[in-house]
Structures are given as C-alpha cells and as structure tokens.
C-alpha cells in the first residue's frame, strides 16, 4: 500500500510551491510547543534497563490517628482506624476534648489506654457518632517510658512500590524525489519535513506525559505498552471547582498541595493552566482587587501569572494542549518539579534514508524519529489537579 508523502508527489502543503498561485505560506501550530517536555530537560532523568520501571515512595509517619468507636470517659480501650504507627509508651491529645491519653498496649486496632493523663480531664470519645470520614482525631504528642524499661516496639517507614511502562514513540518524515526537486517557498523541503516530524514527536510525548494511561498487551502480534502520565499518577489532591471558583477555594486546594514536600527540595510548584482556568484566576483577582484609573493611563487590566498563598507561591503558565480542548481549558495541573523524573530506555534518535544511491530504489527521502521512555511522578501528594474552572466569584 502506498504511504502518503513518499509516493504522492503532490502531498505538500497547498501554496508551498513557488509556481503555485499562492505565493505566501502561513502555518499555524494548533498545539504550540511542548513546555513540560522542555522543562524535563532540567529535571531529574535516568536511563532504564527494562520496559517496566519501579520506584518506591514513602509518606511521613502520621502524627494524627482516628478513633472509630464510641467510648465513655471511664473506658480504657479505643478502636483506631489505623494502628501501624501507634506503640505502647505513646502519648496522644484528644482533639475534641483536650484530654491526654497514655497508650499502655496495642493489639490489632485496639489500644489500651490510661485516661486523663497528666492531670487532664477524661471525657467521652465518640468516634462512631462523629461518623466516617469525620472520626474523632487524636494527635501524637510524643513518647515516654519508665526507667529500666524494655525495648519499645520499633517502627520503620517502609516505602510502597509504584511502577510504569515504557512507551514507544515514533514519527516519520518523507519527501518524494519529485517534491524534493521542486523549488519551495519554505526552502529545503527535507529540512522542513524533518522539523515538522520533530515537532509532532515532541507534542506526542507531551500529551502522553500528561494524559496517557497505563496499558500493556499486544498490537499486530507484538508487545505493546503505554505509560501513565502525570494526571493518572495523582490521587491525593484531585478536585473539581465549584460552579463559581472562589479565592478561598483555590487557596484551600493549594494548601493541601503545599502541605507535603520532598526532602531536600525547595517547596515550589508550577501550574499548567488552560486559558479558561487562567481567565477565572485573573477574574478572581479583578473582583477581589482594586483597580485605579487615572488620566494619562496607557494600559489597563490585570495579568496574574503568580498566585501567592501563605503556604507557598505558585507560577501559572498557559499550556497549549489544555487550551486546545473545551474540557481541559478549564483545568489547572500543579506540579512539583523535583517530583518528576523521566526514564529512557532509548533516547530520541533518528533513522535516516536520505542519501541518493542508498535508498534501495525508493524514489524518496524518508526517516523516523524514535523514543522509548516513561515518566515517574515520585511524590504524588506534592501535586494536584483542579478541574472545571468556569467562572470567578468573590
């Protein structure tokens, strides 16, 4: 079967030939550039040795535990939602009452406790009545042991594995001998087609690094894999904006995003936004802010490209892929640059067949760009995805 571009001499852009009626050429890039792929050049990267990559992620040991049952002030046992990090010798503060409790022993999810520790007043702990997910919280204060005590129970922060698949990206370029011989306004048609293929290659990788979902199987009887992009790797901070987005709503979302950081990394973020999401954020600033207009003003309006919160500042950047879609244009993807790492099984390389006399009789120059890679977002709680920004509210 003929491949378009190799065996069709008229497969060039209409108007690109010098002899054609259209003497000018304007090419519009719908998707623009690939900013995330560009940023990844300055981020962590590592070679891979297999089509599956695995990494381990650790969360900080929690200082807050939830009580799930009702207990009167005299009860000496409580049921915990999670007891992996609770040991004998721990002291906890009951958030609802201010009572201190001392943990004497733990068996499964049941903790035996001393009530009214350190002179505080024992009070009912009604975890079941509060109802999920609003169980009563108790906050770890520390540990205390008697002189000559036995070895306490050890606790280690064990990482949990995450994995991703390598995805194979390929984009081809081709120019027939006839098309190569024709004079074009764009200059060297081979060079132009190579540039176009490289641009499509970058955009394909960009789309997958954000939106792709993990799959494995066969295609045409051969192994086939796709990777998880960033969005499928996020789970902790994913939420939809309200019918109208408020300043407080954005701040609460960003508070959760900034609440975790990577050890040894600055607590910084970047947000890729669609045009609608950026318009809503700027609309919030306009509605909640004050603009003064004086005689002689030469410019007017608001341009907010950094959102400042008490928890950290976030740089806003429009993403061409988000603005391309009426759905994604309302979204904001927040990333920690230090959490991302690209993994390459095969870095981008080009196979060319563009030498006269070395084309096995094919009357065309052609080549293929190939990359095999995937992306790790190694601390998903440091990122976030806020969707559905429709209109601004004060």
pLDDT digits (tens, 9 = 90+) for 292-312: 777 777 665 667 788 888 888
44 and 68 together in one domain: no
More confident residue, 268 or 134: 268
Q: Give the range with max mean pLDDT: 77-81, 281-285, 361-365.
A: 77-81
Is the pLDDT assigned to residue 205 strictly greater than 80?
yes
211 and 245 together in one domain: yes
Locus of tokens 């081709």: 174
- Residue 27, classified by CB atoms within 10 Å of its CB into exposed (0-12), middle (13-18) or buried (19+), is exposed
191 and 337 together in one domain: yes
Distance CA 361, CA 376 (A): 44
196 and 269 together in one domain: yes
What pLDDT, on the 0 to 100 scale, is given for residue 218? 95
What pLDDT, on the 0 to 100 scale, is given for residue 146? 92
In a domain, 23, yes or no: no
In a domain, 230, yes or no: yes
Whether the bond into 308 is cis, omega within 30 of 0 = no
What pLDDT, on the 0 to 100 scale, is given for residue 30? 47
The two tokens of residue 372 are 């095999």
Is the pLDDT assigned to residue 54 strictly greater than 80?
yes
Q: What is the mean pLDDT of residues 341-356?
A: 86
What pLDDT, on the 0 to 100 scale, is given for residue 56? 81
User: Interhelix angle for 247-258 vs 275-288, to 10°?
Assistant: 120
Lowest average pLDDT, out of 36-50, 111-125, 240-254, goes to: 36-50
Distance CA 75, CA 135 (A): 17
| Positive or negative torsion for Cα 67, 68, 74, 77 | negative
Q: Give the range with max mean pLDDT: 12-16, 226-230, 265-269, 363-367.
A: 226-230
Is the pLDDT assigned to residue 127 strictly greater than 70?
yes
Distance CA 37, CA 373 (A): 12
Is the pLDDT assigned to residue 124 strictly greater than 60?
yes
Distance CA 338, CA 382 (A): 10
In a domain, 371, yes or no: yes
What pLDDT, on the 0 to 100 scale, is given for residue 228? 96
110 and 128 together in one domain: yes
Lowest average pLDDT, out of 4-13, 50-59, 62-71, 360-369, goes to: 4-13
Q: What angle do CA 306, 307, 309 make, to 5 degrees?
A: 140
Q: What are the beta bridge partners of residue 340? A: 377
What pLDDT, on the 0 to 100 scale, is given for residue 185? 64
Contact 117, 84 (CB under 8 A): no
- Residue 39, classified by CB atoms within 10 Å of its CB into exposed (0-12), middle (13-18) or buried (19+), is middle
Q: Which domain holds residue 324?
A: 35-56+163-290+299-387
In a domain, 15, yes or no: no
- Residue 41, classified by CB atoms within 10 Å of its CB into exposed (0-12), middle (13-18) or buried (19+), is exposed
Is the pLDDT assigned to residue 323 strictly greater than 90?
no
What pLDDT, on the 0 to 100 scale, is given for residue 184? 63
**Residue where a domain stops, chosen among 113, 143, 173:** 143
Lowest average pLDDT, out of 98-102, 170-174, 362-366, goes to: 362-366
Domain count, the chain: 2
**Residue where a domain stops, chosen among 112, 143, 174:** 143
76 and 211 together in one domain: no
52 and 102 together in one domain: no
196 and 68 together in one domain: no
Whether the bond into 133 is cis, omega within 30 of 0 = yes
277 and 178 together in one domain: yes
What pLDDT, on the 0 to 100 scale, is given for residue 11? 46
In a domain, 245, yes or no: yes
More confident residue, 32 or 27: 32
311 and 255 together in one domain: yes
253 and 227 together in one domain: yes
Q: What is the mean pLDDT of residues 208-215?
A: 95
More confident residue, 353 or 82: 82
Is the pLDDT assigned to residue 45 strictly greater than 90?
no
Residue-averaged pLDDT of the chain: 84
In a domain, 237, yes or no: yes
What pLDDT, on the 0 to 100 scale, is given for residue 354? 67
Please tell me the pTM assigned to this model: 0.74
Q: What are the beta bridge partners of residue 353? A: 366
Distance CA 1, CA 319 (A): 38
Helix ranges, 212-339 (H): 230-233, 247-258, 275-288, 320-324
In a domain, 154, yes or no: no
**Residue where a domain stops, chosen among 115, 143, 171:** 143
78 and 193 together in one domain: no
Is the pLDDT assigned to residue 328 strictly greater than 80?
yes
Q: Give the range with max mean pLDDT: 9-18, 50-59, 195-204, 206-215.
A: 206-215
Is the pLDDT assigned to residue 3 strictly greater than 70?
no
Give the CATH number, domain containing residue 322.
3.90.1690
More confident residue, 386 or 36: 386
In a domain, 369, yes or no: yes
């Amino acid at each position: 079967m003929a491949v378009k571009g190799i065996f069709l001499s008229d497969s060039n852009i209409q108007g690109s030939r010098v002899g054609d009626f259209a003497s000018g050429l304007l090419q519009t890039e719908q998707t623009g550039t690939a900013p995330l792929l560009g940023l990844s050049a300055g981020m962590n990267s590592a070679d891979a040795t297999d089509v599956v990559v695995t990494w381990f992620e650790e969360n900080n040991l929690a200082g807050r535990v939830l009580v799930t049952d009702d207990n009167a002030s005299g009860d000496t046992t409580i049921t915990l939602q999670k007891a992996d990090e609770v040991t004998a010798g721990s002291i906890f503060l009951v958030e609802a009452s201010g009572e201190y409790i001392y943990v004497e022993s733990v068996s499964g999810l049941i903790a035996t406790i001393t009530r009214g520790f350190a002179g505080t007043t024992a009070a009912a702990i009604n975890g079941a009545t509060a109802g999920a997910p609003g169980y009563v919280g108790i906050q770890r204060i520390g540990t205390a042991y008697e002189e000559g005590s036995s070895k306490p129970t050890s606790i280690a922060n064990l990482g949990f594995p995450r994995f991703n698949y390598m995805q194979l990206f390929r984009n081809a370029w081709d120019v027939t001998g006839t098309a190569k011989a024709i004079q074009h306004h764009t200059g060297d048609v081979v060079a132009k087609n190579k540039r176009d293929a490289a641009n499509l290659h970058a955009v394909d990788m960009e789309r997958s690094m954000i939106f792709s979902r993990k799959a494995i199987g066969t295609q045409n009887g051969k192994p086939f894999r796709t990777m998880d992009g960033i969005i499928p790797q996020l789970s902790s901070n994913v939420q939809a904006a309200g019918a109208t987005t408020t300043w407080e709503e954005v701040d609460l979302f960003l508070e959760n995003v900034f609440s975790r950081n990577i050890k040894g990394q600055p607590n910084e973020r970047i947000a890729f936004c669609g045009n609608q999401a950026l318009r809503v954020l700027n609309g919030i600033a306009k509605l909640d802010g004050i603009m003064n207009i004086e005689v002689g003003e030469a410019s007017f309006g608001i341009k907010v490209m950094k959102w400042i919160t008490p928890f950290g500042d976030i740089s806003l950047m429009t993403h061409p892929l988000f603005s391309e879609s009426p759905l994604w244009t309302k979204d904001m993807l927040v990333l920690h640059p230090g959490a991302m790492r690209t993994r390459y099984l095969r870095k981008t390389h080009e196979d060319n067949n563009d030498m006269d006399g070395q084309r096995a009789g094919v009357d065309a120059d052609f080549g293929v760009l190939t990359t095999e890679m995937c992306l790790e977002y190694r601390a998903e709680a440091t990122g976030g995805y806020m969707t559905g920004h429709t209109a601004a509210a004060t």
